């Protein structure tokens, strides 16, 4: 593969992941319109519909290629457990601590991923990636520092499961290589999160209005963007993937503004600008020197 072809694939992968984060980010704005939102119920029904979307995709792939993808293997089972941890820890953390606490903890994901990639994969983390990690983390802390508090440390510890599971998942996928199909792991993650949250979401009686919104969240906010993310991961380094994933938070603030009337504060706008600047700087540097870590 030539340098130009590699750069083109990298640019398409970045574009695909940015699109995925844009789809992920509508969750906050959509859940504001639920009649009776509860964390476990949202996680359960979102996982149900996401699992159905992933199942339809896997059937389509099987019919297209006339072979069934390997669902149960050590890499897919581990990845599925990490998806479940991310789905559940985020919602359970929100039930015990503030959104600001949860998102500030989530901003640790690129740092944890970079350290883990260096230790497990021997990945050389480029200077531009470290600079971007510092800028992005600083920007996210600026966005939510005003509302950060230590009154509910139990929720903070649960929230730590999100960036840790994300880092472990990305590094495990990189270690397994492109030969392993990881979309089935997403189906496993959905099934596990349904099993974990079902006892907390009982009785299962959402209104038709809520069920429609939860179906939208499951298919278009979770299932499809996660599939898209898994399709582009082979062309991006683990730290870069984790960095770009944080665009979900910035886009989420924008959607909450446009879709739920939540006007962002000056600190949020400044912090979000720092995040975007850090990510743009990283990708422009990658464009001019397209050698991946």
The residue among 182 and 64 whose pLDDT is bigger is: 182
The residue among 116 and 2 whose pLDDT is bigger is: 116
Residue 18 — very low, low, confident or very high, per pLDDT cuts 50/70/90? very high
Residue 145, pLDDT > 80, answer no
Q: Of all residues in the chain, what percent carry a pLDDT higher than 90? A: 33
The answer to whether residues 187 and 80 touch, using CB atoms and an 8 Å cutoff, is yes
Residue 170, pLDDT > 80, answer yes
- What pLDDT is recorded for position 288? 64
Residue 149, pLDDT > 70, answer no
| Longest distance between any two alpha carbons in the chain, whole Å | 57
Kindly provide the residue ranges of all beta strands, DSSP E only, lying in 117-208, ordered along the sequence: none
Dump pLDDT digits (tens) for 97-115.
766 677 778 888 888 898 8
Residue 292 — very low, low, confident or very high, per pLDDT cuts 50/70/90? very low
Dump pLDDT digits (tens) for 66-109.
777 767 889 999 999 999 999 888 878 877 776 667 777 888 88
Mean pLDDT of 39-68: 88
Mean pLDDT of 30-57: 88
Specify which of 213-227, 228-242, 257-271 reaches the highest per-range mean pLDDT: 213-227
The residue among 49 and 73 whose pLDDT is bigger is: 49
Q: What is the mean pLDDT of the chain?
A: 85
Dump pLDDT digits (tens) for 255-282.
877 776 777 778 878 888 888 888 888 8
Residue 54, pLDDT > 60, answer yes
Residue 290, pLDDT > 70, answer no
Angle between helices 238-245 and 247-260 (to 10 degrees): 20
Residue 287, pLDDT > 80, answer no
- What pLDDT is recorded for position 5? 77
């Amino acid at each position: 593969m030539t340098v130009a072809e590699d750069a083109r694939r990298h640019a398409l992968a970045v574009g695909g992941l940015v699109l995925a984060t844009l789809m992920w980010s509508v969750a906050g704005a959509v859940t504001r319109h639920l009649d009776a939102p509860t964390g476990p119920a949202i996680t359960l029904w979102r996982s149900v519909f996401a699992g159905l979307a992933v199942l339809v995709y896997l059937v389509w792939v099987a019919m297209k290629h006339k072979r069934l993808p390997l669902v149960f293997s050590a890499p897919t089972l581990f990845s599925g457990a990490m998806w479940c941890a991310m789905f559940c820890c985020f919602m359970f953390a929100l039930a015990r601590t503030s959104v600001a606490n949860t998102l500030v903890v989530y901003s640790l994901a690129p740092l944890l991923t970079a350290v883990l990639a260096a230790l497990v994969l021997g990945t050389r983390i480029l200077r531009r990636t470290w600079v971007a990690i510092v800028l992005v983390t600083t920007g996210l802390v600026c966005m939510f520092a005003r509302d950060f508090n230590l009154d509910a440390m139990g929720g903070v510890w649960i929230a730590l499961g999100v960036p840790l599971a994300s880092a472990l998942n990305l590094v495990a996928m990189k270690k397994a290589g492109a030969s392993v199909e990881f979309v089935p792991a997403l189906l496993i993650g959905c099934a596990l999160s349904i099993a974990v949250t079902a006892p907390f979401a009982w009785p299962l009686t959402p209104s038709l209005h809520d069920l429609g919104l939860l179906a939208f969240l499951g298919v278009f906010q979770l299932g499809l963007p996660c599939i898209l993310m898994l399709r582009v991961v082979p062309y991006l380094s683990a730290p870069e993937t984790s960095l770009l994933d944080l665009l979900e938070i910035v886009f989420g603030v924008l959607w909450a503004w446009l879709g739920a009337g939540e006007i962002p504060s000056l600190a949020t706008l400044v912090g979000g600008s720092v995040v975007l600047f850090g990510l743009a700087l990283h990708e422009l540097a990658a464009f001019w020197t397209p050698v991946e870590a």
